[in-house]
Amino acid sequence: MLKVENLTKMFGGLAAVNDVSVHFEANKINAIIGPNGAGKSTFFNLIAGMHKPTSGRIILDGEDITPLRCDYIARRGIGRTFQTTNLFETATVLDNLIVGHRLRTQSGLWDVLINSKRLQAEEKECRVKAREALDFVGLSHVENRLIADITQEERKRVAFALALATQPKLLLLDEPAAGVNPEETVGLADLMHKMVANGLTVCLIEHKMDMIMGMADKIMVLDHGEKIAEGTPQEIRENPVVIEAYLGSDEDAAA
């Protein structure tokens, strides 16, 4: 579904992503691991169009999306979450979803000024979509709670729901389980499986090795911007290059 060819991103003299080629299959959980600074988030930023690559191509379902602006890429079906999600702390869960959805839909200033029919229809649609997304991620029961009053794990679910509002076919999740405890991590993993069961393709960056090893169909390992390995969890676990570069050298990551 997503084919990345020889992708490179230079920041000045630093190759944050260096000649990476990879293929993510539809309806699978693909994972990216690697030490801090390996280029994982930059790789996502390139796919989502927030950064333009120095060279290389990104092909989504046969279409070269490399030159497209990030809002067009979102409309082609790539959604994402960020390493940290900024939510409106003093607003309710539902209102955060509605605002998030609004930011991703179409009405311009003119529509707002004349409060057009289109805007009214969109607002109604936003509310419906927001509720659907909350139901999907299992947060309907807290829709009227303030963000400030929900748990870290529930916040992660809000971030998932925000990303789902654009109805992506490929969802990029940047460290979705960071800062949540092990039991809650299991719940988030279940949610990712549910997404795949509903036809989505997931690509996630994650430091929690036990989570990744238990759920990923395929893992790509980045180190200093380069792809050093790719394979099933079993293949990655046994790969001497990976053990040397990552698993063996980072106690935290292996924990």
Residues of this chain, 31-60, that bind ligand ADP according to CB under 6 A:
34, 36-42
- Per the rule left: phi > 0, alpha: psi between -120 and 50, beta: everything else, 24 is beta
Q: Which does 39 bind (CB under 5 to 8 A by kind): ligand ADP, Mg ion, none?
A: ligand ADP
Q: Residue 14 or residue 241: which is nearer to ligand ADP going by CB? A: 14
Q: Which is nearer to ligand ADP, 22 or 142 (CB)?
A: 22
- For residues 176 and 188, give the distance between their C-alpha atoms in angstroms, rounded to a whole number: 8
Comparison of 40 and 208: residue with beta carbon closer to Mg ion: 40
The residue among 41 and 81 lying less far from Mg ion, judged by its C-beta, is 41
The region of 39-47, 71-79, 105-113, 214-222 touching Mg ion under the rule CB under 5 A is: 39-47
Q: Would you say 9 and 60 are in contact if contact means Cβ atoms under 8 Å apart? A: no
Binding status of residue 41 toward Mg ion by CB under 5 A:
yes
Which tokens in the block code for residue 56? 């290389």
Tokens of 101: 């959805």
Angstrom CA distances, 85 to 152, 198, 226, 228, stand at 11, 24, 27, 29
Query: Is residue 45 a contact residue for Mg ion (CB under 5 A)?
Result: no
The DSSP annotation for 214-229 comes to: HH-SEEEEEETTEEEE
Looking at the Cβ atoms of 154 and 174, the one nearer to Mg ion is 174
Q: Does residue number 42 form part of the binding site for Mg ion (CB under 5 A)?
A: no
Report CA torsion sign: 197, 203, 205, 210: positive
Rounded to a whole number of angstroms, the minimum distance from the CB of residue 44 to Mg ion is: 8
Q: Provide, rounded to whole angstroms, the least separation between the CB of residue 84 and ligand ADP.
A: 12
Among ligand ADP, Mg ion, none, the one that 38 touches (CB under a kind-dependent 5 to 8 A) is ligand ADP
16 binds ligand ADP (CB under 6 A): yes
DSSP-based helix, strand, coil % in the chain, nearest 5: 45, 25, 35
Reduced to 3 states (helix: H, G, I; strand: E, B; else coil), residue 254 is: helix
Return d(Cα 126, Cα 228) in angstroms, integer. Answer: 43
E strands within the chain?
2-11, 14-24, 29-33, 55-60, 63-64, 78-80, 170-174, 201-205, 218-223, 226-231
Nearer CB in complex with ligand ADP: 14/26: 14
Using CB under 5 A as the binding rule, the residues of this chain from 204 to 223 that contact Mg ion are: none
34 contact, one of ligand ADP, Mg ion, none, CB 5-8 Å limit per kind = ligand ADP
Q: Which does 16 bind (CB under 5 to 8 A by kind): ligand ADP, Mg ion, none?
A: ligand ADP
Between 10 and 146, name the residue whose CB sits nearer to ligand ADP: 10
**Residues of this chain that bind Mg ion (CB under 5 A):** 40-41
Binding residues for ligand ADP, per CB under 6 A? 11, 14, 16, 34, 36-42
